[in-house]
Amino acid sequence: MGLAYETILHLINLRRSGRLPDRARVVEIGAQQLSNSFLRADAALTELYGLFGRKPVDLGGRQEAVTIDGVERQAESAPASQPFWESLGLSYDAVEYGGHRGVTSLDLNQDSVPYRLRSSFDLIVNAGTTEHVVNQDNAFRVIHDLAKAGGVMMHEVPAGGMLTHGVVSYNAQFFWLLCRDNNYEVIDLTVSHAGDAPISNDVVRAMRNTRARSIRSKRASPCRFFLSPRFCQKNSRKAFVTPLDVPPEALRR
pLDDT profile of the chain (253 residues), mean per 10: 88 95 97 92 97 96 67 76 98 91 91 96 94 96 97 87 76 88 87 53 47 39 43 92 88 65
H helices present in 34-99, as ranges: 36-39, 42-51, 82-87
Q: What is the per-residue pLDDT for 97?
A: 92
Q: What is the per-residue pLDDT for 253?
A: 56
Q: What is the per-residue pLDDT for 1?
A: 66
Local structure of residue 182 (DSSP, 8 states)? T
Read off the amino acid at residue 199: I
Please report the beta strands in the chain, taking only residues with DSSP state E, as ranges in sequence order. 25-29, 66-68, 71-73, 91-96, 104-105, 121-126, 147-158, 185-189, 192-197, 223-233
Q: What is the per-residue pLDDT for 133?
A: 96
Check: CB of residue 54 under 8 Å from CB of residue 88: yes
Local structure of residue 207 (DSSP, 8 states)? H
Q: What is the per-residue pLDDT for 25?
A: 98
Burial class (CB in 10 A: 0-12, 13-18, 19+), 198: middle
